[in-house]
Structure 1
């Protein structure tokens, strides 16, 4: 078996073994960008080379392949690139004031190292150190307030247990913090971290965003609540361009980037559900649905006069006076 095919087979086996519920043919197609026929051949090879591989039907009648992790124990190892990427991720989390997540990733790193035979670790240490010396993190302006570990821990426990949380929160413009009980649904992480929760005092009201660094205290109440089964944090996040959520402001957004900025704009993900449309004159139109006009204005300003808002009219009016032509570079 050629080396490339062997590496691909091990990668496939690792992928299958890491999925507790197993994988479908569609999963394989998505992961490798292959046709259905190629995915079938890959899974057949998996069954031949790994006798522990199992195939069964799920409740929807779809075939799922599973593999016990023991079958891979002597085939997997850690590469210098993977270890360097892990260290870079830890450093990035620390730079972004996500100390709790950084500590958890460091613990995971220690567990991985402990499971890898010492002779294999020694062989990658030199390359790993060289990669680390060649990598750096650029300074990123903006807020980076740190969330105290005990508050982060209380939020994490409340999310895992669907438990109401009592927080002491300093609202914007308020002179003192006040206590309130909330039902936490998730955490959004961007330039700042926001706790997404429903106020118990307003059960019919919308989900609210609480700036994490403005939470002065947090403690578990011991009260369990029933989460909305249809809530999805990713779908919720996609309602906004940034962090601001306003159901009445959600509408189709249409931006047109000039020919000179089109290639640069094409490399950006302005929104997960964006649609890009190349125009005959070389310009680029970007469409998506979201709220957060003010946050859009902050970003659009950095493009100067290289972008034009086609819709909605309210956003077009907000940015029209601030489309500068004297910016020397694009974002």
Structure 2
């Protein structure tokens, strides 16, 4: 379902009170079947859109639900358009939807909303790299999330082992150009990397989603678990205070300053999955860092030092 049709359908229902699929099709220049599918998808997505049978029937917003954005404050309207404006720069559909949203705002907010929408630009082409395209699989899965339909997935894990399962798609997350699907399975909530999905087939079976599910909270749990797995080993070390920011760039959130030693040095804790991972990061620092504990990290550093000495030490005469 296109974003501009979604917004237009909601605004049309609000302005007219009730609309038939045929009327919507004529307004949006699509087939009646397409208009009906859009209306059904809106309803399935949880928007209070309901059909009414009979001679004067049609589709309407339950209880006169409003979608004209007139309930927004000035600051809320600016925040909304700062968010959606950059997306419109890279999507024709989003641009059309944005125009409809601007027209839906109270007149006094429109000028600043338009300025906010133009305040930020997304340039998706990387320096010296080809432009990254959103995986086609993402659109298929997004449609399944919106339509609340289960999906048969073919998935390969990190060991390249394939499994096939029926999942209830709950939401998608884009993390640094890597997409993740959060879904319900027979064993509970699971997270799937989209680039490891080798097959996806939506079904006609309705998807079940917990009433209290919130995608942002679910993702926070996923990130928390990942971070715990990435920091199973912690090491304590001393380093000159002026180098702490560089060390923090290297370890990210897994770098914690414990105390200022008062002599130009700081005591720091760093974390990684294994002692070897920590040692590999610290080996390049040489004598600039002194690892106090644990012994496992000190041992890995000593082993790396011996290997480097054997490879690059003085050639025997």
Instruction: Please indicate the TM-score interval, normalised by the length of the shorter structure.
Output: 0.3 to 0.5
TM-score, structure 1 as length reference: 0.44
- Larger Rg: 1 or 2? 2
Structure having the larger proportion of residues in helix: 2
Structure having the larger proportion of residues in strand: 2
TM-score, structure 2 as length reference: 0.45
